[in-house]
Structure 1
Amino acid sequence: MDEVISLFPTPFFRAPGAVPEPLRQGLLAHFSAEARQENNASSQLSHTRMLRPSDSPLLIELAQLLTPKLSEFGAHMFGERMPWSLKEMWVNVLDEGGRQAMHNHANSFISGVLYLTPTHASSRTVFMKAPGGNDFAFKNDHPGMVTGPFNADKWISPQPSPGDLVLFPSYLMHAVPPNEGGQRITLAFNAIPARLDSWGYTIGFTG
């Protein structure tokens, strides 16, 4: 019987309602006011400084919730459950009309987004194939073609609710299209494993 096999799929982790409501509200109230650093991609986008869990009891509580999920997701990437640590965290405030340019996250292995407010459908996080890569140089792109998982250039993540969490490999390109709704506030973060071991050649990481 004929079959199509998905070779080397990219893992994407989604945890609806991952953060309890009191913690979500606490993070929103405390850190949204600290997002004063402008973004060169959009004047309607601002960030906090880079944060560490030790900066606030709220972030310590959040780190305790996130760490088991990082270990679970990391096992899909590396085939082993291992200790993970949050390298850095920051809060993004995206006003109406704002956008986030396509980018990925350097010097980390897992990145994530915690949605702190409702997200308008126009500003759902979009994930893209990296420019270049191993694709054919020719494309079949016209109104009659059907887009599927093997030929799409981008994937729009599901509509999030406040408190939802997503995790993805840090190399994955992503962006936020222009926001046509109200203020969108998220907490983003990067994480690293304690170490990687390739047949005795071990690299350790510190957060």
Structure 2
Amino acid sequence: MDEIIGLFPVPFMRAPATLEQALVQDLATHFSALAVRDNNSSPNLSHTEMLRPGDSPLFTEAAARIAPKLTEFGALLFGEQMPWAIKEMWVNLLDQGGRQAMHNHANSFISGVVYLTPTHPQSQTVFMKSPGGTDFAFKNEHAGTQPGPYSSDKWISPAPTPGDMVLFPSYLMHAVPPNQGKRRITMAFNAIPTRLESWGYGIQFSG
């Protein structure tokens, strides 16, 4: 019997209700007033400064709930359960009409987003293949095609509920289309393992 095998898939974790609603509300309320840094992607996008979990009791509490998921997801990436550290956290405010350009996250291995407010259906996070990758130079795109996991250029993440979290490899490109709804607030973060070892050669990271 013929068999299709997906080689080297990219893991993506969706973790519903990672943060309880009281913490979600406190994060959204507290950090909305601190999100004053402009983003060159859009005049309607602003964010807080990059903070460490210990810089805020709210971030410390959120990081403690996120930590077990990082360990679980990290085992998919590196084949071993190991301690992870969140190196930076920040909150994004995306007002109506705002968008976030395609990007990935440098100097980290796992990145994540926790949704703090409802998200308009047209403004769900979009993940996409890296440009200039291993795709064919000529594409087959027209009204009669049916894109699937092996032919699509992008994938729209499921509709989130406040408190839901997604984790993905930091190299994965992603963007947010123009927001057609009310203010969209998310908490993003980057994480690194405390140590990586390759046949006796080890690298120690400090979070």
Common fold by TM > 0.5: yes
SS at match of 2:59: helix
Q: Which residue pairs with 1:71 in the alignment?
A: 71
* In structure 2, distance between residues paired with 1:21 and 1:159: 17
Q: Which residue pairs with 1:125 in the alignment?
A: 125
Q: Which stretches in structure 1 are left out of the alignment for 5+ residues?
A: none
Q: How does 1:102-181 map to 2 (within 5 A)?
A: 102-181=102-181
* In structure 2, distance between residues paired with 1:99 and 1:21: 26
How far does residue 132 in structure 1 lie from its aligned partner after superposition? Answer: 0.7
Q: Which residue pairs with 1:3 in the alignment?
A: 3
* In structure 2, distance between residues paired with 1:195 and 1:19: 27
SS at match of 1:89: strand
* In structure 2, distance between residues paired with 1:42 and 1:65: 31
How far does residue 74 in structure 1 lie from its aligned partner after superposition? Answer: 0.1
* In structure 1, distance between residues paired with 2:143 and 2:55: 51
Over the matched positions of the two proteins, sequence identity in percent amounts to 69
How far does residue 161 in structure 1 lie from its aligned partner after superposition? Answer: 0.5
Q: Which residue pairs with 1:17 in the alignment?
A: 17
Q: How does 1:12-51 map to 2 (within 5 A)?
A: 12-51=12-51
How far does residue 22 in structure 1 lie from its aligned partner after superposition? Answer: 1.2
* In structure 2, distance between residues paired with 1:180 and 1:28: 19
* In structure 1, distance between residues paired with 2:32 and 2:68: 26
* In structure 1, distance between residues paired with 2:59 and 2:90: 10
Q: What amino acid is the match of 2:46? A: S
Q: What amino acid is the match of 2:32? A: S
How far does residue 122 in structure 1 lie from its aligned partner after superposition? Answer: 0.8
TM-score (norm 2): 0.99
The count of aligned residue pairs is 207
* In structure 2, distance between residues paired with 1:39 and 1:58: 24
* In structure 2, distance between residues paired with 1:165 and 1:12: 11
Q: Which stretches in structure 2 are left out of the alignment for 5+ residues?
A: none
How far does residue 4 in structure 1 lie from its aligned partner after superposition? Answer: 0.6
- CA RMSD, 1 decimal: 0.6
TM-score (norm 1): 0.99
1:204 maps onto 2:190 in alignment: no
**Runs ≥4 residues deviating over 6 A:** none
